[in-house]
Structure formats: C-alpha cells, structure tokens
Amino acid sequence: MFRIVKAKMLVENICLLEVEAPRIARHCEPGQFVIVRADESAERIPLTICDYDREAGTVTLVIQVIGASSLKIASLKTGEFMADITGPLGQPSDFVNEDIEEVRKRNYLFVCGGLGTAPVYPQIKWCKEHGVNFDVIVGTKTHDTLILEKEFEEVAGEHYFITTDDGSYKRSGMVTVCMQDLIENEGRKYDVCVAIGPMIMMKFAAKMALDHGIHTIVSMNPIMVDGTGMCGACRLVIGDEVKFACVDGPEFDASLVDFDSAMKRMALYKTEEGKAYLAAQEGDTHHGGCGKCN
C-alpha cells in the first residue's frame, strides 16, 4: 500500500497526487513512468512521472479522469492509500545519460499541451538544476484548462510561454504559432525540441521544428495501455524497426515516427474487432518481450 501525501484538483477532471514511494523516488529520472492501481480490483494504468523528491521519498503524478479506473485514483484523498505503484519504467530522456558538458552546449525548446505539460515539468526542472539553456511553450485550450502554472513559472521564469487556443490568456493560438513567433520573429535558436502532448499536437509541432532543422524528440506515452509491451497497444514502426513505447521509449526521434499510422492504429485499438485485426496483421511482432505471448 502506498500513502497519498497530497491530493488536489488542478482543474476540472485533472488531479495531482503526491505518493510516498521512496524506492521509486530514489531511482526515477525525467521521461520515465509508473504503473498504478487504486485498489486490488482496479485496472493497471501507466502514468508519466510529473515530479519526484528523493529526500522526501515521494513521486508526483497527474491524472486525467477518463474512465472508472482513473476516477478511482483521482478520488483518493490525502492520507489514504493506493494498492500499487510500480516503477520506474521506460527509458529516461536522452539528455539524462549524455555527457553533461555536451548537453550544456545546446539550447532546448520544450513544447507541451494538455496533460503533456506534466511530464515536461521534471525535464525543465532537470535542465535548470544542471545549467542547461531552455525555453518552454505550454499550450492549452483556454485559461481554465491550464495546469502547473506556478510550478513552471518558478522553474522557467521569463523562458516560460503560455498560449491559449481561444486567446483567453497570454499568447493566442496553438503551440505552432508560438513556436513560429519565437524562431522566426524573435530569432531564438534551438538545437533540440522536445514535444509532448496530444498526438496531433506533436505531429505538427515536430513538423515545424524539423522544417527549421531542429532535432526533435516526441513522447509516445499517449498510446500506452498495459505499460509492459504485452498488450500491443503501443507498437510503433520507428524508421524500419518495430518498437514499443512503454519498453523502448516513451521518447523517440520525431523524424522517424509515422504519426498518421500511429493515430490510425490508436483508433483501431479502441475496439475488440480492431485489436483482433491488428493482432492478426502483425503476428509475432504484435507484442513486446518474446513477441509470442498468449
């Protein structure tokens, strides 16, 4: 059992939980995720790590309520317990394991939208702690759906740019409009772009960055279901290789990702007929691990 240290609603249908999990807190890095269960009868849900405190032994998760299992988790109160939290899983962000002096030579642009704001937070926090230059763009539909504003302001300061689709707060327009403004009108130079958010957002953010010659990384966590590679939901063709977001990622080189096929596959996977079709079409490569799990 894992105790909830803090629970609060950020906006409607999105909550934050700080969970006592010292072993995970000691070992997790930006980019990784955990699998949680509210109780022993609940579904297993993969969630990217929003923050961690190694000294306090806690990890912070942000959950969007989209079904019964996520509602169970979001309903937990401070002092209550969740049944399981397993991790850290997945691969850390590339810069975590690279030569820090090489990383410090680069200028990073982080672009996030919706719930993708949560996994970007530990990345910009890591960059600030290690003296890495960065800007961060957060896109949201309206001011009322913006999350973690105070936390981002404290870490990024003047390098934090908010844009709303409806123009109700700060800049107006989608994240690509803000990207274009920073790159073309303000003359900002970036070596690496990290885009995390809805698939359609990542597709067009990646296209804009790549069109400007910026090496771009995207996180495929939106397509994860099982979190172990055995369900086949997050199967991707990256370049000419079969990969699984939860095992090999969740972050990948955006230039190698076929977003259109990934989004089509996501739609198919939502039905039992679609799952059966994909399993039959993909054969032994449908699952991760041994590839032959029944």
Q: Which of 74, 89, 104 is the last residue before a domain boundary?
A: 89
Q: Which of 35, 63, 89 is the last residue before a domain boundary?
A: 89
Q: What's the confidence (pLDDT) of residue 31?
A: 95
Residues 185, 234 within the same domain: no
Residues 85, 98 within the same domain: no
CATH of the domain at 178: 3.40.50.80
Inside any domain, residue 293? no
Q: Kindly tell me the sign of the dihedral angle through the C-alpha atoms of 275, 243, 255, 95.
A: positive
Inside any domain, residue 158? yes
Domain that holds residue 36: 2-89
Residues 117, 213 within the same domain: yes
Q: What's the confidence (pLDDT) of residue 102?
A: 97
Q: What's the confidence (pLDDT) of residue 271?
A: 67
Q: What's the confidence (pLDDT) of residue 293?
A: 41
Q: What's the confidence (pLDDT) of residue 242?
A: 83
Q: Which of 199, 218, 237 is the last residue before a domain boundary?
A: 218
Q: What's the confidence (pLDDT) of residue 214?
A: 98
CATH of the domain at 63: 2.40.30.10
Q: What's the confidence (pLDDT) of residue 275?
A: 58
Q: What's the confidence (pLDDT) of residue 292?
A: 39
Inside any domain, residue 294? no
String of DSSP letters for 221-239: GGG-SSSSSSS-TTEEEET
Q: How many structural domains comprise the chain?
A: 3
* Each residue's pLDDT expressed in tens, for the chain with a length of 294 residues: 899 999 999 999 999 999 999 999 999 999 999 999 998 888 888 899 999 999 999 999 999 998 888 899 999 999 999 999 999 999 999 999 999 999 999 999 999 998 999 999 999 999 999 999 999 999 999 999 999 999 999 999 999 999 999 999 999 999 999 999 999 999 999 999 999 999 999 999 999 999 999 999 999 887 776 666 667 677 788 888 888 888 888 999 999 998 888 777 766 556 667 656 566 666 667 666 544 343
Residues 106, 184 within the same domain: yes
